[in-house]
Structure 1
Amino acid sequence: MKKAWVEELFRRLSERDPEPRTELDYTNPFTLLVAVVLSAQATDAGVNRATRTLFAVADTPAAMVALGEDGIREHIRTIGLYRTKAANVFRLSQILLETHGGEVPRRREELEALPGVGRKTANVVLNVAFGEPTIAVDTHIFRVANRTGLAPGKTPEAVEQGLLKVVPGAWRLHAHHWLILHGRYVCKARRPDCPLCPVRDLCAFPDKTTAEAMAGPRRGPLARPDPA
């Protein structure tokens, strides 16, 4: 992997979106943590619709515990696996109060000890809430890293370790968001929009789509969805 190749790839992605942000709505580290826990096997838009009412009444661990597991469940029942997620959010809120003084911990080990929090969730919280240069590998980043040849790997953790090795420090803080947004809106699973890809000529993917193959309305390389 040539350093100049990686630098150019991230330079182009950064030109499209200099300050990328998570598409999950949150107001503090706690609501971010809850939103990411709820986002497993769910869309960010779906989570945001549910948390709009949830966070209006419970945006701290104490308020979430006071709401109770049943109350949490009523707010998030439109999200997949909502019963399990409600139990996790209730219990992690209790643990934050009992063990961490009501604050979201900044250590990976402590985050991953919370119910419903795995490595990916911990990486998102560390990156977004605390500015750590972590890279959370979801399905989009896994796909982009393998397709482009940036960091091929058979598991999310293998891809994460590969990215941490090749992504220069200057790009690492936002690398997670550039790659996830690129995978979400351009390098899509079923039909990547290669004609609009800003890194098409750098990508190792052999089955690039053509302009003729892409039908219907298109969006810019890192464009967000139109507001509902």
Structure 2
Amino acid sequence: MNLSRRSYALIAALVVGVLTLVYMGTRASEDAAGEGVPWRADDPCMKDAPHPSVWDEKEPRLVTLSHGYSSKSPMGGGDMHFTIGASINVGRNPLVLHTPLARGGVSVRFCAPHGKGLMAEAKGLSPKSVETPAAKDGAIRVTREEPLHFMVELPPSALRNGYSMSDLMNSSPPRSNDAADYPVLVLTVSDPGLDAPLVAVSFKPDPTPTAQALGAPPAVRRQMAARRPG
């Protein structure tokens, strides 16, 4: 069968068009695997985690300061331990707690990024070290100027679904610069001196899909970003 030049041109244009669509789809998939991946709005792992920016200064606030996996030995090697540092802060109203602080009253939970479930969970923990203002007769007075700092250790038995301690620090995809790609720490502290348990979350994801996650062109992404509040 003989084809005219016009037919060859139409076939070539069709092939180029198909290849272009495949390429764009691949790029959109790669983008969706990164910073623009939406979180499930009903993620059960995050159901009771407050937004980090929400705080009534009339009430005490729990803040996560740091967490990581390291050796207790200054030279490295030996047993590895995962520790979490946090503080209890107050606003206008001082808080009086007693030693020992929160014995068996600390819970830790790590949620996988992008709503992929529970990575680690432990309950009934006690602070390993507590840095407080001078305590008198076992009473600790926490003020705006002198918050209470403490550290808790996550036991290896807390890990779920074949995760390792190092997984709790790694992003998905690897080496990401987006906080939404890292596991989320949810820390809860209960103590007789508190009216209600204090809950802190290292990052509260936005469950709304971004333009990048939807594969929108760069110009559209910029327009959507410009419309976002704040």
Q: TM-score range by the shorter chain?
A: under 0.3
Q: Which has the higher contact order (CA 8 A, sep 6+)?
A: 2
TM-score, normalisation: structure 1: 0.26
1 or 2, which has the higher strand percentage?
A: 2
1 or 2, which has the higher helix percentage?
A: 1
The structure with the larger Rg is 2
